[in-house]
Amino acid sequence: MEQDRIFVKPVFTQEEIKRRVTELGAQISSDYREKNLFLIGILKGAYPFFADLSRAISLPLQVDFLMVSGHRIVSEMTQNIAGQDVLIVEDIVDSGQTSAALKKELQTHNPKSLRLCTLLDKPHRRREKVSIDYTGFTAPNKYVVGYGLDYKDKYRNLPYVAVLDQISEEEETLLYAP
């Protein structure tokens, strides 16, 4: 029978993610108290992290989104970020190419400050040097899915982060069972 490549075991559970997101939200709230926080979520991968993190920040803030595909920015900002304290919210920094391109592009819009927050940092395969200001977790050197991260555009809606492995189609359906 054909096997789907899919995860078996959560590496970061729902509870761990929730706790860490709360901590990051508190840290960001404190760091940006006197500033004009503007969160930019990177789609598609950052959508669950963005929604949870933004609600864990107890400050008035603005949001916008950029769509990225294959290290390239494929959408445009809808708001002006000049003079704003911009915080990029990403799912994962792997080679660093996407983050480097994002920082370069956003810098041309003259924000007052520009920082980077990522749910996961996978430092093992870094090709571009990129400074990360807020990290949720350091990921293992493996392909991970869930909580926004995809494999062939699936598994983004899993509420936890897990490592891909081999399981059957039957087992796959059980992963979504309540």
Cite the active site residues.
94
Under rule CB under 6 A, residue 121 binds ligand IMP = no
Q: Residue 14, class by beta-carbon neighbours within 10 Å (0-12 exposed, 13-18 middle, 19+ buried)?
A: middle
Stretch that binds ligand IMP, among 3-11, 25-33, 109-117, 144-152 (CB under 6 A): 144-152
Q: Report if residue 98 touches ligand IMP, rule: CB under 6 A.
A: yes
Query: Are 51 and 83 contacting, i.e. CB atoms less than 8 angstroms apart?
Result: no
Tell me the closest approach of the beta carbon of residue 131 to ligand IMP, in angstroms. 13
What is the footprint of ligand IMP within residues 5-34 (CB under 6 A)? none
111 near ligand IMP, rule: CB under 6 A = no
Pick the closer one to ligand IMP by CB: 70 or 178: 70
Q: Taking CB under 6 A as the rule, does residue 95 contact ligand IMP?
A: yes
116 scored as a contact of ligand IMP (CB under 6 A): no
Q: Determine which residue in the list 53, 144, 158, 162 makes contact with ligand IMP, applying CB under 6 A.
A: 144
Task: Check residue 89 for interaction with ligand IMP (CB under 6 A).
Answer: no
Among 143, 156, 167, 172, binds ligand IMP (CB under 6 A): 143
Label each residue of the chain as H, E or C: CCCEEEEEEEEECHHHHHHHHHHHHHHHHHHCCCCCEEEEEEECCCHHHHHHHHHHCCCCCEEEEEEEECCEECCCCCCCCCCCEEEEEEEEECCCHHHHHHHHHHHCCCCCEEEEEEEEECHHHCCCCCCCCEEEEECCCCCEEECCECECCECCCCCCEEEEEEECHHHHHHHCCC
> Residue 2 CB, nearest distance to ligand IMP (Å)?
22
| Binding status of residue 97 toward ligand IMP by CB under 6 A | yes
